[in-house]
């Protein structure tokens, strides 16, 4: 499909949804509103509120807090996942011993850990970072583990025949292979880091996007809830673009689905 | 019903003496699969390859030809017998050998140039020097214009050329090749064969070349060795190829002597091929 046409159709979907929402919440149909303003607010109101948040500058503080938590959770969780993923993949005995516990920890819905982290780490950013880390860690861990395990045996044998020692094998074979697997999970990992941050804020904090949404909900300020959600969604999109950019730069060696290479 | 195959002598006599590059003495190779009896892939068998000799190993599919190469490379420990490389018993990996695998063995995350250069860098060559030599080898295999391509941007034949450069750049004394041109089309195979012979003629390494294509084996080799059908495969024939060198792998196939040799060897190989497939037909 032509990109302009695609963009137009995508825009049309947004227009239709907002149109229905606006009409449902402001036009009386048969003596009743389809979408009562109290429960659904109106797109115009939500738009105004978002504008206000940016115009007054109050949103920047919350955004930066959420961003900090996300970034910290992502990096700490990834570092842990890489280290343990490698360790387990290279030492099958360790992997076998810890296997049931890893599975157990991964099966646990991480949200239930939030209160514990709050008790241990307080209401500041670190309890949110911890929650995000528990989510990110397992994604990266499993991918790196898989990446190291699934190194092509032929590539490995070839590298050995070149005379590579363990350190060189790590640098030239295991690490790039694990990295490519890790990157395939990067979008998910970043997403989960953000989930950890927002859910943590929602459950107890004094700043951040989750906090904003929770505050608005507490006073039945539906406009505020929707405004917060909208900003959150836009925020995720921006981060996702950034991740895609990094991915493109680091994984140039991968076959592209498009006909770039002719 | 089985045709009686004559028991070959334990050692196949060498036509003429010369320093041995590889000596496989009565080696046997088994694989243990849990819950099943041990699979004896290769029965005690011997093979000697002299310095500068190009030996092809031909046999029906699944007869353990690659296993023999892996044992020579040190990737696999034989259950019995010894592997000797230039007079020394092989322990661990064979550092004197370069191995061109059947499947793609290039690192997909490195460009053609880096794939070749890494083979030298591993041995401690400086990066600049390694890259210069890698570039030279890529030129020799006809890929001067493709040095910056990643493996997925190259055709199957081009990847094999990179693989060849990667193996040869280290200057191994022994070259092990496991159906290296197997997945390529007929034309490309011939071109690759001629390229290989030209490169080989420059310094005459000892080559062990595994293939199931008898024509290819005759066209390239000094000697063609026949393996019996597995399990307990062993070497059952050894044919010197007295075609003049240098050879062109396409033209040589028109030589009357080529046809004689082909007929002789095929007569022996046929029985083994039939045996393999005979057991599979219901």
Q: How confident is the model at residue A93 (pLDDT cuts 50, 70, 90)?
A: very high
How close B249 comes to chain A (CA, Å)?
27
What local confidence, expressed as pLDDT, does residue B164 receive? 92
Residue B282 pLDDT > 70: no
At residue A204, the 3 state secondary structure works out as coil
Task: Return the higher-pLDDT residue of A237 and A180.
Answer: A237
Which chain A residues have any C-beta within 8 angstroms of a chain B C-beta? 152, 154-155, 157-164, 168, 172-173, 176-177, 180, 252-255, 261
The whole-number average pLDDT for the span A69-86 is: 93
Q: What is the pLDDT, as a whole number, of residue A179?
A: 83
The DSSP output letter for A124 is: S
Measure the CA–CA gap between B151 and B106, rounded to whole angstroms: 7
- Determine the residue among B69, B98, B105, B208 to mutate to test chain A binding: the one whose Cβ has the most chain A Cβ atoms within 10 Å: B105
CA B107 to CA A58: how far, in whole Å? 50
Q: Reply yes or no on whether the pLDDT at B112 is more than 90.
A: yes
> In the predicted model, what is the mean pLDDT of residues A19-39?
86
Q: What ipTM describes this predicted complex?
A: 0.83
Q: Do A162 and B118 touch (CB under 8 A)?
A: yes
| Banded pLDDT at B18 (limits 50, 70, 90) | low
Q: Do the Cβ atoms of A160 and B152 come within 8 Å?
A: no
List residues bridging with B239 in a β-sheet.
Answer: B224
DSSP chain B: --PPPPPPPSSPPPSS---EEEEEEEEEEEE--TTS--EEEEEEEEEEEETT-EEEEE-STTSSHHHHHHHHHTSS--SEEEEEETTEE--SS-TTEEEE-SS--S-TTS-HHHHHHHHHHTTT--HHHHHHHHHHHHHHTT-GGGTT--GGGS-HHHHHHHHHHHHHTT--SEEEEESTTTTS-HHHHHHHHHHHHHHHHHH--EEEEEES-HHHHHHH-SEEEEEPPSSSB-EEEEEE----SS--TTGGGG-HHHHHHHHHHHHHHHHHHHHHHHHH--
Does the pLDDT at position A36 exceed 60? yes
Of the candidate CATH numbers 1.10.10.10, 3.40.1410.10, 1.10.8.100, 3.40.50.300, the domain formed by B20-96+172-280 belongs to: 3.40.50.300
Q: What is the pLDDT of residue B80?
A: 86
Tell me the count of A-B CB pairs closer than 8 A. 59
Name the residue of chain A whose CA is nearest to B171's CA: A162
Residues of chain A positioned with their CB less than 8 A from the CB of B95: 163
Domains and their CATH numbers in chain A: 1-37 (no CATH), 41-250 (1.10.3720.10)
Residue-wise pLDDT for A208-217, tens only, equals 999 999 999 9
Bridge partners of B240, per DSSP, are B223
Q: Does the pLDDT at position A68 exceed 60?
A: yes
**DSSP 8-state class, residue A256:** P
Residues of A in contact with B107 (CB under 8 A): 155, 159, 172-173, 176
pLDDT of residue B5: 42
Q: Is the pLDDT of residue B3 over 70?
A: no
- The answer to whether the Cβ–Cβ distance between B153 and A159 falls below 8 Å is no
Query: Mean pLDDT across chain B, nearest whole number?
Result: 85
Residue of B nearest to A174 (CA): B107
pLDDT confidence of residue A150:
85
Between helix A175-184 and helix A125-149 the angle, nearest 10°, is 120
Residue B122 above 50 pLDDT? yes
Domain assignments of chain B as residue spans, ordered by start: 20-96+172-280
The predicted structure's pLDDT at residue B73: 92
What's the pLDDT tens digit per position in B23-62? 888 888 888 878 888 888 888 888 999 988 999 998 877 7
For residue B15, pLDDT over 50 is answered with: no
Nearest to B103 among A154, A161, A252 (CB): A154
Across the interface, which of A155, A164, A255 has its CB nearest the CB of B152? Answer: A255
pLDDT tens digits, one per residue of A190-205: 889 999 999 999 988 8
Point out the residue among A154, A168, A176 whose CB comes nearest to the CB of B109. A176
State whether B75 and A173 contact (CB < 8 Å).
Answer: no
Q: Do B93 and A176 touch (CB under 8 A)?
A: no
């Amino acid at each position: 499909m032509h990109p302009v046409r695609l963009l137009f159709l995508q825009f049309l979907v947004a227009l239709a949804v907002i149109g229905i929402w606006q009409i449902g919440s402001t036009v009386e149909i048969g003596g009743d509103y389809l979408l009562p303003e109290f429960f659904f607010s109106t797109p115009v109101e939500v738009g105004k509120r978002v504008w206000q948040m940016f115009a007054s500058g109050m949103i920047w503080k919350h955004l930066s807090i959420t961003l900090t938590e996300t970034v910290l959770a992502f990096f700490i969780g990834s570092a842990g996942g890489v280290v343990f993923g490698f360790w387990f993949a290279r030492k099958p005995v360790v992997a076998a011993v810890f296997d049931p516990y890893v599975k157990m920890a991964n099966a646990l819905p991480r949200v239930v850990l939030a209160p514990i982290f709050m008790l241990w780490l307080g209401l500041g950013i670190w309890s949110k970072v911890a929650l995000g880390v528990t989510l990110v860690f397992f994604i990266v861990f499993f991918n790196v583990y898989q990446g190291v395990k699934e190194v092509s045996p032929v590539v490995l044998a070839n590298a050995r025949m070149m005379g590579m020692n363990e350190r060189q094998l790590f640098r030239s074979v295991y690490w790039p292979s694990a990295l490519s697997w890790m990157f395939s999970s990067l979008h998910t990992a970043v997403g989960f880091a953000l989930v950890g941050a927002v859910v943590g804020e929602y459950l107890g904090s004094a700043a951040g996007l989750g906090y904003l949404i929770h505050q608005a909900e507490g006073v039945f300020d539906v406009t505020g809830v929707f405004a917060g959600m909208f900003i959150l969604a836009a925020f995720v999109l921006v981060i996702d673009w950034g991740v895609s950019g990094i991915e493109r730069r680091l994984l140039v060696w991968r076959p592209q689905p498009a006909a770039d290479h002719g | 019903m089985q045709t009686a195959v004559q028991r070959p002598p334990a050692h196949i006599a060498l036509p003429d003496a010369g320093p041995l590059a590889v000596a496989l003495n009565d080696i046997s190779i088994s694989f243990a699969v849990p819950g099943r009896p041990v699979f004896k892939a290769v029965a005690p068998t011997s093979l000697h390859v002299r310095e500068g000799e190009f030996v092809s190993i031909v046999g029906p599919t699944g007869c353990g030809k690659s296993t023999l190469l892996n044992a020579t490379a040190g990737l696999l420990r034989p259950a019995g017998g010894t592997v000797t490389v230039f007079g020394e018993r092989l322990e661990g990996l064979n550092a004197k050998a370069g191995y061109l695998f059947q499947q793609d063995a290039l690192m997909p995350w490195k460009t053609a140039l880096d794939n070749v250069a890494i083979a030298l860098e591993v041995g401690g060559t400086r990066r600049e020097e390694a890259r210069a030599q890698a570039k030279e080898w890529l030129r020799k295999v006809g890929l001067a214009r493709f040095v910056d391509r990643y493996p997925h941007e190259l055709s199957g034949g081009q990847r094999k050329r990179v693989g060849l450069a990667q193996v040869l750049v280290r200057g191994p004394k022994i070259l092990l090749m496991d159906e290296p041109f197997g997945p390529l089309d007929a034309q490309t195979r011939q071109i690759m064969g001629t390229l290989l012979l030209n490169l080989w003629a420059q310094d005459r390494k000892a080559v062990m070349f595994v293939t199931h294509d008898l024509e290819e084996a005759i066209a390239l080799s000094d000697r063609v060795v026949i393996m019996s059908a597995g399990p307990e495969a062993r070497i059952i024939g050894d044919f010197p190829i007295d075609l003049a060198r240098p050879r062109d792998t396409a033209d040589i196939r028109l030589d009357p002597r080529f046809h004689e040799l082909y007929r002789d060897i095929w007569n022996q190989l046929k029985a083994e091929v039939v045996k393999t497939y005979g057991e599979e037909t219901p």
